[in-house]
Each structure stands twice: as C-alpha cells, then as structure tokens.
Structure 1
C-alpha cells in the first residue's frame, strides 16, 4: 500500500514539505532536509518548488 503525499502535523520544521516527502518515500525527514538544502546550492527553481509544494500538498488529516 502506498502512502498518500501530504504534509504531516508532526515532525515538521517549517511547512512539513520535507517531512511529507520523507514519509512518502520511506526516508528520514533529516535526510530529505539535507538533500533539499544541498540542492539549493545548485542553480534552479528549488525554492519555488518548495513553495509550490507547500501550497499544493494537503495537510494530513
């Protein structure tokens, strides 16, 4: 059974986007946070993608 992608109410730092991605893909939240932080050092729209996910991902019920 695959987990639904949503922002959890627990284990979040800012908006819960990294924690939600971690739960969905079976990783630790800190692993996803470090990957996101390192990816921001590369050129691209990572920050805008984070904001978009913050807006589009539903809050966990």
Structure 2
C-alpha cells in the first residue's frame, strides 16, 4: 500500500454569496468568485441583461439570492 494522498485539485468551488465584496446581495460577487472573473464584468452582464431582457435578469438575481442563502 502506498501513502499517496488523493487530492483532487480540479474540484469546483462551492457557490457562495460574497458578503464582503457584494453590493446588494452578493450574488454577482459570488458568481465572479465561482467563475474566477472580475465582479464588475458579472455586474455589467446583469445590468445589460436587466435592461435588454425587460427585467428577466432581475428575477434571476432574486431567485439566486433567495436560493443561495
């Protein structure tokens, strides 16, 4: 038997709301941390989606906020 430790470095991070860098609910900050991107990019995508999608991204934001608590 070998003493090799099984460490999976490719395991995905858990999604969590980002309470520190979050502006309203921490959803965009949490998505940015999960995907390893700048939170500003995620916020801009949500803003454009809320305007172009006639508020559908607002409902998506609220759903993520409520489910991720």
Provide TM-score, normalisation by structure 2: 0.76
- Of structures 1 and 2, the larger Rg is shown by 2
Distance 1:13 1:47 in 2: 14
Count of residues in Structure 1 that have an aligned counterpart in Structure 2: 58
When the two chains are superposed, the root-mean-square deviation of aligned CA atoms in Å is 1.2
Structure 1 moving runs of 4+ over 4 Å: none
User: Is residue 46 of structure 1 aligned with residue 57 of structure 2?
Assistant: yes
**Structure number with higher relative contact order (C-alpha < 8 Å, ≥ 6 residues apart):** 1
Unaligned runs of 5+ in 2: 1-10
Distance 2:15 2:51 in 1: 25
Provide TM-score, normalisation by structure 1: 0.84
Q: Does the CA contact (< 8 Å) of 2:19 and 2:25 recur in 1?
A: no
Matching residue of 2:47: 37
Distance 2:32 2:15 in 1: 9
